[in-house]
Structure 1
Amino acid sequence: MKAIVFEAPGSTPVLAEVDLAHPKAGEVEVTITAAGVCHSDLHVISGDWDISTPVVLGHEGSGVVSALGPGVTDLEIGDHVVLSWVPACGVCRYCLAGRPAQCVLVAEVVAPLGVLHDGTSRLTQQGRTLHHYLGVSSFAERVVVPVSGAIRVRKDAPLDVLALVGCAVATGVGAVTKTANVQPGSTVAVIGCGGVGLNCIQGARLAGAARIVAVDIMPEKLELARRLGATDVIDSSSTDAVKALKEAVPEGLDYVFDAIGKISTTEQAIAALGLGGAAVIVGLPPTGQHARFDPLALAEADQRILGSNYGSVVPQRDIPWLVDLYMSGELDLESLVSARRPLSEAPEALADLAAGRALRQLLIGSPTPIETE
């Protein structure tokens, strides 16, 4: 099959022929319908994160189950699925506590080693092992994933746009509704109006926030933020974000979401809080960076700093719920899509994202029908 292979930091991802082994026990093969292009992929390319290479990129995707490994009974060939980049084991202490985003197997094996649950890869190229990215590797025509990483969804929903639910939508909406548990009537700010930030805005709207302030440096993203639920917008390219937020909401904000993950935006999120407010770190910074804040001021104001991994969602429960919200018209996914491109244009799509020329781009897979015999 064809896939996008990344050799190491400093190289350019390329479209290549690779081999995909059949699924083993507890795994399924999925033929990819669409894969979303996310900033997390850029972190890998730039060397911000230390991951195993060579690797097949992509961690946001949707598709159709095309083969089952031994013992799989939860899914059937032909099922429509959204891929989850937290293919939880289901048996560690965090999974049993209802926190699969902290799964020990994912944190210690799948993510850092670039393999599946058994510690091996299903991907090879001319005899050498290729690594899986976050247990997904959706920049490919087909993938093999643990069954917990393929979430069955309703078949009447357009499968291509559902790819976004697997990362951007779950992360953004979940950060608001699950991690922070934003209450009706709250005041909310979102710093960064990319794919995740715009879904934080949608989450705040769904939660009934009274004020939703969007902060970004690009006017077109701020315009889209208004369409998706922002009540106020701040162009931080021409003003100090913290000062503008305090002027917009003089009593201080109940929640500020950093959807970028730069040290500067994390510090802005904390500085803009009101009494009892919570700063929620959603965007992920490069490894090893540290933010500064005044702990005395934080304590005296009874404020909190919350980390949000994957929006604190439970994929098997929350991904179908998010799809239902989309189908009922409560979530707007189509407005998030700035382009649909073939898999072969993944390098160009990544370059456009890095340059700020794109929002969420979908790499569209082959329309070849799935055999279900």
Structure 2
Amino acid sequence: MIRAAVLPAVGAPLEITGIELPEPGPGQVRVRLAAAGVCHSDLSLSTGTMRIPVPAVLGHEGAGTVVSVGEGVTQVAPGDEVVLNWAPSCGRCPACTGGEVWLCDSALAGAAGVHARTADGTPLHPGLNVGAFAEETVVPVNCVLPLPGGVPLATGALLGCAVLTGYGAVHHSARVRAGESVAVFGVGGVGLAALQSARIAGASAVVAVDVSPEKEALARAAGATEYVIASDSTAKEIRGLTGGRGVDVAIECVGRADTIRTAWDTTRRGGRTTVVGIGGTEQKVTFHALEIFHQARTLSGCVYGNSDPAKDLPVLAEHIRAGRFDLESMVTERIGLDGIPAAFENMLAGRGGRALVVFGTPG
């Protein structure tokens, strides 16, 4: 019996309870979690903005140590340190064969399976495939990637979602070039990763936008050269910071219609807006036909940073080892499993960066 954070039903409070994990079957790996980041996607799953089968063990951004492996597994062995990959690519569908592994048709197919059981035998699904809000998890071998050397195991959990997403939004989706100006909307875990990534890309000006004045120090430490408190005049203020022109690139990490619209309005003619935030179906963004023609801007969605984790993790590890990317600075709170509901409340209130569940932490 291990402890886990279980979502019993959409909209219901999380339950920190004991669950029974099976031994790894053929092609599976059992991992003892060192840490798991609390991502806004987990909150979206709990509220039903994103749909998964329930009851489920939430958590998808994690890292840990392989405990045991099932028949046929040769890629990893007991004792190996790994990062969980919540969106593994099948390698066979049109998206994968076309080089867009982040859009794999079956990336989330595992969420429908039975992952574990409660003490009374109730079957549990793995939230976003990996069920990382638990002391241990059992996942298919394609849901683990070797943790690159020189990356701390606990903070390495952030590589599994926030860092790949923020880095990929800058380098793969928006394709920020040296000398360009960038605005990042939302200074949570993904936003902090995007700010650091914009600095790595050589952006000349990096504007961070958030509702919270308290996040300015976090944003500037991550690479922001300017900090703007979100308001009805945000676009005008950012234009004022860029000589009236607007930024070359806006990266939206909130998932709200008004923020997406503001990000679009913030970019220059011919600029690029990348939407990373996950919003609900009720969030409607409107444009009129003339402005689409006249502004000649690009608006694009971004899934998992348009990243290929197997290729991007080694690149990110080099930035971490060289001191260009600081994982530690993204973590604003270390908690136990019992602290996840409060971390959800902090996200809703716009407080803090990334909360990290460290297993063995009281609570």
TM-score by structure 2 length?
0.94
Q: Quick one: distance in 2 between partners of 1:234 and 1:154?
A: 35
The equivalent of 2:34 in structure 1 is 33
Does the alignment pair 1:203 with 2:204?
Answer: no
Q: Which of 164, 168, 173 is equivalent to 2:162?
A: 168
Q: Which moved more, 1:69-78 or 1:164-173?
A: 69-78
Q: Write the letter of the residue equivalent to 1:245.
A: I
| SS of match in other structure, 2:290 | helix
Q: Quick one: distance in 2 between partners of 1:291 and 1:141?
A: 40
Does the alignment pair 1:317 with 2:311?
Answer: yes
Residue 155 of structure 1 deviates from its aligned partner by 4.4
Q: Which moved more, 1:319-328 or 1:274-283?
A: 319-328
| SS of match in other structure, 1:230 | coil
Does the alignment pair 1:243 with 2:244?
Answer: no
Structure 1 segment 333-348 matched on structure 2, within 5 A: 333-348=327-342
The equivalent of 1:4 in structure 2 is 5
Q: Quick one: distance in 2 between partners of 1:12 and 1:128?
A: 17
Residues 1:79 and 1:98: Cα distance change in structure 2 (over 3 Å): farther
Residue 144 of structure 1 deviates from its aligned partner by 1.4
Structure 1: stretches of 5+ with no match in the other structure: 368-373
| SS of match in other structure, 1:105 | coil
Is the Cα–Cα contact under 8 Å of residues 190 and 214 in structure 1 kept in the other structure?
A: yes
Q: Which of 171, 178, 181 is equivalent to 1:177?
A: 171
The equivalent of 2:299 in structure 1 is 305
Is the Cα–Cα contact under 8 Å of residues 32 and 366 in structure 1 kept in the other structure?
A: no
The equivalent of 1:43 in structure 2 is 44
The equivalent of 1:148 in structure 2 is 142
The equivalent of 2:95 in structure 1 is 94
Q: Write the letter of the residue equivalent to 1:316.
A: A
Structure 2: stretches of 5+ with no match in the other structure: none
TM-score by structure 1 length?
0.92
Q: Quick one: distance in 2 between partners of 1:224 and 1:347?
A: 23
Q: Write the letter of the residue equivalent to 2:84.
A: L
Q: Quick one: distance in 1 between partners of 2:16 and 2:44?
A: 19
Q: Which moved more, 1:221-230 or 1:59-68?
A: 221-230
Structure 1 segment 230-309 matched on structure 2, within 5 A: 230-237=224-231, 240-249=233-242, 250-309=244-303
Residue 12 of structure 1 deviates from its aligned partner by 0.8
The equivalent of 2:182 in structure 1 is 188
Q: Which moved more, 1:347-356 or 1:223-232?
A: 347-356
Residue 366 of structure 1 deviates from its aligned partner by 4.2
Residue 139 of structure 1 deviates from its aligned partner by 0.3
The equivalent of 1:75 in structure 2 is 76
Q: Quick one: distance in 2 between partners of 1:352 and 1:290?
A: 25
Q: Quick one: distance in 1 between partners of 2:9 and 2:46?
A: 7
Q: Which moved more, 1:224-233 or 1:89-98?
A: 89-98
**Identical pairs, percent:** 39
The equivalent of 1:359 in structure 2 is 353
Residues 1:162 and 1:261: Cα distance change in structure 2 (over 3 Å): same
Structure 1 segment 222-237 matched on structure 2, within 5 A: 222-237=216-231
Q: Quick one: distance in 1 between partners of 2:347 and 2:297?
A: 34
The equivalent of 2:114 in structure 1 is 121
The equivalent of 1:218 in structure 2 is 212
Q: Write the letter of the residue equivalent to 1:99.
A: E
Count of matched residue positions in the alignment of Structure 1 and Structure 2: 358
Q: Which moved more, 1:213-222 or 1:358-367?
A: 358-367
Q: Which moved more, 1:84-93 or 1:346-355?
A: 346-355
**Aligned Cα RMSD in Å?**
1.7
